[in-house]
Structure formats: C-alpha cells, structure tokens
Amino acid sequence: MTARSEGVAIRVDDENIAGTLLAPSSKMPGVLFVHGWGGSQQRDIARAKGLAGLGCICLTFDMRGHEGTVEQQLQVTREDNLRDLIAAYDLLASQPAIDPDAIAVVGTSYGGYLAAILTTMRKVKWLALRVPALYRDAEWGIPKRSLDRTDLSVYRSQFVPSGENRALAACMEFTGDVLIVESEHDDFVPHSTIMSYRAAFQNTHSLAHRIIDGADHALSSEGCQENYTKLLVDWATEMVIGSRIGSAYPQLNR
C-alpha cells in the first residue's frame, strides 16, 4: 500500500516553490487475529486496539469449540476451525475500507498453525506467529480433542522437514513478511518446533524471530504479556509504515 503523491506549487513572496504532497492510500491494512486452542478473542482485543491506532482495521473472533460454542469442542476438527478462519478472513477482506493487498494474520499456537495453512488459500502480506503449534497431517478430519497428546509431544520435539507437513509446506511457499515469537520456557511448543517453522520460511521478504525471556506457553505473567504486545506492535508498525511509504526493509534474523 504505497502513498499517494501530488506535485504542488507553494506560493511565497510572489513566487512559487515546488513541493510534493504525500498522503496514505485511501485504503487501510487489515489485521486478523487467531487465538489458540482453548483460548478466545479476549486477549487479542487489547492488541487489536493498539494496531487500530496505526490505522489498521482489525478483526478478532472465537473459533467453534470456544467461548460461546465450547460445548462443540469434543467434535470440532482442524478442518472446522480452518473453515472458521477462512470465513473470518473473508469478512475482514470484504470491508470497503480494506486494502486487499495489505492483510496481516496474527496467530497464536493452534491459531498460528492454522494461519500458516491459510496463506495457501487466501492473500496474506504479513504473518505473525506466536508459539505456533505443529500437528501431524494424519487424522486431519478427526476431532482435535481426540489427538494423542503424547504423540504430539514426541512429534514436536524433533525437527520436521517442510515437505512432510502441510503447515510447514505453506511456510515454504510464503513470500511476505514474517514474525515468529517464541517463549523461553514453553512446555507445549519446544524450540525444535520453532526451528522447524523458521527453517521452512525460505522465500520470505523478511523474517524476524524473537524470544520472550522467562515466558511460558500461555504468557502467564503480565510482564510477558506486555513484552509480546510491544514486540507485535513494533513489528506491525515497521511493516505498515514501510508499506505505506513503499520502502523495502532488509531481511531480519535470517
């Protein structure tokens, strides 16, 4: 989303001096937040307010099996929640003031996993993944709650090549800007999973990887919550302002 520019003449002392008037595009970036398994949109709302202050149109939502539909959690599959995500994206993208070429998706844990897959189905310019989870491709259609947690722990503890996982294969194809946020003391998404994601992003415009010291998976402390919010807002500010002025940022932390 580049800026609009217009040459202007500035009248001073009976003479004209040249100037250029620049203004943001009439369209605004969109940001879609995707919560994790067992979570809700509540934590995302505060961060969405911060990004709305940058001139972004933000959307938070509750996937099926959460909050008002928690009774469905025993039946909800990854396919169901991916369809939820697609529907939410389409609603955001349909807003008249949205620039369809400037949409960000911010996903946490399970939401980050689904967000990565979404990039193969919808246009995403910026992708922020906090502690993105990883799941085997097998049993995609069975309820999420039925997956073997012990098996998932073993799977996530090893490096997974991008060609062997749907979400990682999506990351390999992604050409936008990426932020990965890791928790130092994460019992659910270990460093090996983060590195599987990071290694998969081979074609990005930029890649930033940040670790929140002392943080657990859920960011249980208020200080860790604040650190993540600052990381996200700072990164989004860089991406949005860079897009508005048409700048190309160097790749980060490759």
Sorted by where each starts, the structural domains of the chain and their CATH numbers stand as 27-244 (3.40.50.1820)
pLDDT score at 130: 98
Percentage with pLDDT > 70 across the chain: 93
Integer Cα distance of 184 and 211 in angstroms: 6
Neighbours of 37 (CB within 10 A): 21
Span 105-140, pLDDT tens digits: 999 999 999 999 999 999 999 999 999 999 999 999
Average of per-residue pLDDT across 196-224: 97
pLDDT score at 25: 66
> In the predicted model, is pLDDT for residue 5 greater than 80?
no
pLDDT score at 248: 40
pLDDT score at 254: 39
Integer Cα distance of 52 and 181 in angstroms: 21
Quote the tokens at residue 220: 């249980």
Q: What pTM, to 2 d.p., does this model score?
A: 0.88
pLDDT band of residue 18 (cuts 50, 70, 90) is confident
pLDDT band of residue 55 (cuts 50, 70, 90) is confident
3-state secondary structure of 97: coil
> In the predicted model, is pLDDT for residue 153 greater than 70?
yes
pLDDT band of residue 10 (cuts 50, 70, 90) is confident
> In the predicted model, is pLDDT for residue 247 greater than 60?
no
Quote the tokens at residue 141: 């259609």
Span 35-54, pLDDT tens digits: 999 998 998 998 999 899 88
Amino acid at 86: I
The answer to whether the CB of 174 falls within 8 A of the CB of 204 is yes
Neighbours of 143 (CB within 10 A): 16
pLDDT score at 1: 46
Average of per-residue pLDDT across 246-251: 44
pLDDT score at 3: 61
> In the predicted model, is pLDDT for residue 33 greater than 50?
yes
pLDDT score at 246: 58
Percentage with pLDDT > 90 across the chain: 78
* Separate counts of helices (H) and strands (E) for the chain: 7, 8
pLDDT score at 99: 92
